[in-house]
Amino acid sequence: MAKAHSSGVDISGVIGQGSSKIKKKIRDITRLLKRDNLASNVRIENERALEALKSELATVQTNLKAKKLAQRYHKVRFFERKKAVRRYKKALKELKELEAKDGDPKAIKKEIKKQKKVVRHCEVDLAYVLNFPKTEKYIALYPANTDTSGLSEKALRGIQKTEAKRTEYRKKFGELLDSGKLEVSLEDGIKIINKETIDWRPEQAETAADQKQTTQDDEFFD
- Burial, 4: exposed, middle or buried (Cβ in 10 Å; 0-12, 13-18, 19+)? middle
Q: How many CB atoms lie within 10 A of CB 189?
A: 21
- For residue 103, the one-letter residue type is G
Q: Is 37 helix (H, G, I), strand (E, B) or coil?
A: coil
For the chain, how long is the longest CA-to-CA vector?
A: 90
DSSP track, 134-171: TTS----SS-S----TT--HHHHHHHHHHHHHHHHHHH
Predicted confidence pLDDT, tens digits, the chain (222 residues) = 555 444 568 888 888 888 899 999 999 999 999 999 999 999 999 999 999 999 999 988 888 887 887 888 889 999 999 999 999 999 999 999 999 988 899 999 999 999 999 999 999 999 999 999 998 999 999 987 667 777 888 888 888 999 999 999 999 999 999 999 999 999 999 998 888 776 555 444 444 455 455 555 555 444
CA angle 9, 12, 18 (to 5 degrees): 125
In this structure, is the dihedral angle defined by the CA atoms of residues 159, 160, 161 and 165, taken in order, positive or negative?
Answer: positive
- For residue 17, the one-letter residue type is Q
Q: How many CB atoms lie within 10 A of CB 121?
A: 15
The predicted structure's pLDDT at residue 174: 97
What 187-193 contacts at long range (C-beta under 8 Å, 24+ apart), as own/partner pairs, is 189/81, 189/85, 189/126, 189/127, 189/130, 190/85, 190/126, 192/130, 193/81, 193/82, 193/85
Q: CA nearest 47: which of 20, 7, 12, 83?
A: 7
Residue 29: enclosing H or E segment and its boundaries? helix 19-33
| Cβ–Cβ under 8 Å, residues 130 and 170 | no
pTM, two decimals, is 0.69
| Pairwise CA distance, residues 117 & 214, whole Å | 31
